[in-house]
Amino acid sequence: MKTLATFLCILSVVLCAVAADKTTKPKIKVAADGFPSGHETPEGVACDLARAFINRDDSLFTNTCLRLYGGGKGPTDYAKFLQTTVESMKREAANKKPSPSGPKHIEKVFAARHLSKNGPASFGYAAFGFQDIMFVDVGASLYNGKRALNRTMLVKDEDGKWYVHPMPDVSPLLSAGLNDESASKQDFSDAYEVQK
């Protein structure tokens, strides 16, 4: 009888620990601006893309972007897009005056979401070895006083890190339905335990 009571006591402790573990949010570190950074989370790399444009930092831009992949005309178009964007950032940085329609600072970051359609993630895994595909909506204030919301597609590559796909239309099968998704509602801070 004593053994059964001990067993039930241990079982209840284990079940409580499992239940508590399911409600625990993953931890996320934020940068000085209060928003995520880095390749560990989709939100972090999406914010780094925004920071690259805010600071006209072409090195950060290229570091956040997904590698060249695929076949046919896609990689050539993607490489040309990356090169054109880097050149544009360098010109604007040399100009010392940001574009009026350029981003001034990040205002809001929503939690990453999966696409509603299963096809893109399955295609990405089968064709390119991508581990996951998500998107993040990032809101920024602009130098002209307006606000902009940018939907950023993100890919978890073979190395387990998240990267921005800044030109999703180069691969329609990978980005199917991206712009048809509903507006994001959950703030990133509701999905994570934020650490400074």
For 66-118, what is each residue's pLDDT tens digit? 999 988 888 899 999 999 999 999 998 888 788 889 999 999 999 999 999 98
Domain span at 71: 26-195
| CATH number of residue 126's parent domain | 3.10.450.50
Domain annotation covers residue 67 = yes
Widest pairwise Cα distance in the chain: 81
Q: What pLDDT, on a 0 to 100 scale, did the predictor assign at position 15?
A: 43
**How many separate domains does the chain show?**
1
Whole-prediction pTM value? 0.85
What pLDDT, on a 0 to 100 scale, did the predictor assign at position 22?
A: 53
Residue 10 lies in a domain: no
Residue 6 within a domain: no
- Give pLDDT < 70 ranges for the chain: 1-23
Q: Establish if 7 belongs to a structural domain.
A: no
Residue 16 lies in a domain: no
Structural domain includes residue 163: yes
pLDDT value for 155: 97
Q: What is the pLDDT of residue 2?
A: 52
* Domain membership flag for residue 111: yes
The predicted pLDDT at position 190 comes to 95
Does any domain span residue 58?
yes
Cβ contacts of 137 within 8 Å, gap of 6 or more: 109, 110, 149, 150, 151, 152, 183, 184
